[in-house]
Structure 1
Amino acid sequence: MELQQMRYVLAVAETANFTRAAERCQVVQSALSHQIARLERELGARLFERTSRRVRLTPAGEAFLPAARQALDAAERARAEVAAASGELRGRLAIGAIPTVTAVDLPSALKGFHVRHPQVRITLRVGASDELAEQVRQGTLDIAFLGLPPSVRPKGVQGRALARGELVVVVAPGHPLADATGVDLHRLSQEVFVDFPAGTAARIQSDEAFAAAGVGREVAFEITNADLMARLVRLGLGIAMMPAAFVPELRDVRVVELSDPPTRVEHLVWSRLRPSPAAAAFMEALDAGGDRPPEGARAVRPPGH
């Protein structure tokens, strides 16, 4: 069994097409098909079901894929460790982030890291906190930036709190609350909301606040993209609650401060295993850069600071 065969299997699984997989791997399709067939003979099981219309994993293929990914990641990690020991940083840096991360200027941090370490392949995946934390646990991501209610702690990963901030309400410029101040949750319960999907950490922090106030609310639009949320708000279809430090990124909305605002804590998390050289270097760069949360977020110092 060879690492290249595993790369071919992974490419076919991700593209669901032998031709596109061969193009990705920069080999002719016949060579890729031959190597996968050779691997299947060695394993004694077919990894893919092939028809004229589709390619999909068999149960054996589904079982093989996670172990193949781990083997490829381990091989890449080994090469990166050797390069780091020789003074060269290379390999991959897979980062996850919530769409409203504010504790770090992530684009600038990525740019600076890329300039210093051009041999590192950087990827960024935006998603919900619980999904990102699970991907860190599985090793799909090296690190992730999460936003959680104060009562929730990341599980199964190492991490540290970066900043704590309050939520504010964003409304359309012509909304009756546009010029209001000190609005409470009882008043907001009369409004239609745009929010993140139910069950996500971003949604839970708001749901818990309304439950604690003894009132309910209507969430008519469940959105994962912050820019789309802001657009729906601008069109007057609903109001939204967002981190105060994030709303300066939005245009053409009015910000309403709450008298009893929910809060969230942003965390940086990484695997319980030793971070890769690239991940360790990136986290060191964040610390050395002295990143400060923007206005509306308050830095959270680790114990002893």
Structure 2
Amino acid sequence: MNLKQLSHVLALADTLNFNKAAQRMHLSQSALSKSIAALEAELGIQIFERNTARVEIAPTGQHVVLHARHLVSEATNFRKNIEYLKTGELGSVALGSGPFPAACFLDTGIKEFHRRHPTVSLNLRIDNWGNLLRGLLAGELDFFMADIRNLEDDARLDITPLGGVTVTLCCCRHHPLVAGDPTRVIPPRELLDYAFATVKLPPLMFLELKQSMGLDRSDTFAVNIECDDISLLNRIVPGSDIILATGNLLMADCFRNPEVVKLNVPMSRNRFGEWALVRIKDRTLTPSAALLADLLTELIRAGSLADDARYGIAENHPLNFVA
């Protein structure tokens, strides 16, 4: 028994006419008759009652026809789904992202991916790079995007650089550092007297930030609040004396709030982080995952370059970093 024989059965069941069924299946009438007779002999069941006047489905054949419809339909769907999988139009993707790239680009990327591939389901995990790496190695994620400067060399990983982010320091407009004048140039050492809030960042980033401000390595930012929920951090700023260290791209909406201002801090440069797309080197991405990875890579690289062009400051060039 094979699917071709079952298709022959359905053609005859639908038409109850050997000539019409043979035409539908692009066969000769004798070839169709032999195919059905062979299936009946294999099953030991009479599927059709036929004489010179008419063809009818035998009582014992009703069950065969019913299941043949199901099997042929499932086979058709299977072939269709395989084609979808090969083109990335069906399936699921498990994606991980650090909070910065997630807040900057993931919403735009997901909307565009869904517009192009509406049948693909997405499982999203926002976390720090360490937890994302563990999820990737455990097979829970297809790939992840994060700042990978603390990621040790690992021959198992395939790493695609994506870019970085320009940083801004924000506070409430009533903050003592601002003193009613948002344009006031803030001596970097004054920042050390206040608590910072930020997402979980590599220690190297804080070192680079201090160096760009001309602070000593021994100077320490009081990072009292670490949280990977960007929206929560944004809500902490108004009405507090907390300084939020975040990315310019993340604050576009928040800066429309008159209660939140940027601190005007001199910096020698303003581009930090090494975002990358990380996957298992010898693990082939599904077509759907590959399409999403390509889309996000293109989107983040373009956005990172645009962000750098607007806010980035050349190395060793002291300049206030007010947009």
TM over 0.5: yes
* Distance across 2 between alignment mates of 1:262 and 1:287: 18
User: Which of 246, 254, 261 is equivalent to 1:254?
Assistant: 261
Q: 1:183 to 1:268 in 2, by over 3 A?
A: farther
1:194 correspondence with 2:197: yes
Tell me by how many angstroms 1:287 deviates. Answer: 5.5
The answer to whether the 8 A contact 1:93-1:279 is kept is: yes
Q: Which residue of 1 aligns with 2:72?
A: none
Tell me by how many angstroms 1:169 deviates. Answer: 0.5
User: Which of 251, 254, 271 is equivalent to 2:280?
Assistant: 271
Letter in 1 for 2:308: A
Tell me by how many angstroms 1:175 deviates. Answer: 1.4
The answer to whether the 8 A contact 1:80-1:90 is kept is: no
Tell me by how many angstroms 1:239 deviates. Answer: 0.8
Tell me by how many angstroms 1:226 deviates. Answer: 1.3
**Unmatched 5+ residue regions in structure 2?**
1-78, 311-323
* Distance across 1 between alignment mates of 2:265 and 2:153: 27
Tell me by how many angstroms 1:94 deviates. Answer: 1.1
Q: Which residue of 2 aligns with 1:56?
A: none
The answer to whether the 8 A contact 1:133-1:154 is kept is: no
Q: How many residues align?
A: 217
1:284 correspondence with 2:287: no
Letter in 1 for 2:222: E
Alignment of 1:48-197 (within 5 A): 82-83=82-83, 87=87, 89-101=89-101, 105-149=105-149, 155=154, 156-178=156-178, 179-180=182-183, 183-196=186-199
Tell me by how many angstroms 1:232 deviates. Answer: 1.4
Q: 1:223 to 1:103 in 2, by over 3 A?
A: closer
Q: Which residue of 2 aligns with 1:24?
A: none
The answer to whether the 8 A contact 2:167-2:246 is kept is: yes
Letter in 1 for 2:96: G
* Distance across 2 between alignment mates of 1:249 and 1:212: 33
The answer to whether the 8 A contact 1:93-1:120 is kept is: yes
Q: 1:90 to 1:110 in 2, by over 3 A?
A: same
Query: Larger C-alpha radius of gyration, 1 or 2?
Result: 2
Tell me by how many angstroms 1:291 deviates. Answer: 6.0
* Distance across 2 between alignment mates of 1:86 and 1:194: 45
Tell me by how many angstroms 1:148 deviates. Answer: 4.5
The answer to whether the 8 A contact 2:185-2:264 is kept is: yes
* Distance across 1 between alignment mates of 2:286 and 2:80: 8
Tell me by how many angstroms 1:275 deviates. Answer: 1.4
1:228 correspondence with 2:228: no
Question: SS in structure 2 opposite 1:245?
Answer: helix
Q: 1:152 to 1:209 in 2, by over 3 A?
A: farther
Q: 1:135 to 1:232 in 2, by over 3 A?
A: same
Q: 1:248 to 1:87 in 2, by over 3 A?
A: closer
The answer to whether the 8 A contact 2:89-2:119 is kept is: yes
The answer to whether the 8 A contact 1:166-1:296 is kept is: yes
The structure that is helix-richer by fraction is 2
* Distance across 2 between alignment mates of 1:286 and 1:85: 19
TM superposition score normalised by structure 1: 0.59
The answer to whether the 8 A contact 1:159-1:267 is kept is: yes
User: Which of 230, 239, 242 is equivalent to 1:238?
Assistant: 242
**Unmatched 5+ residue regions in structure 1?**
1-78, 300-305
Answer with 250-259 or 161-170: which moved more.
250-259
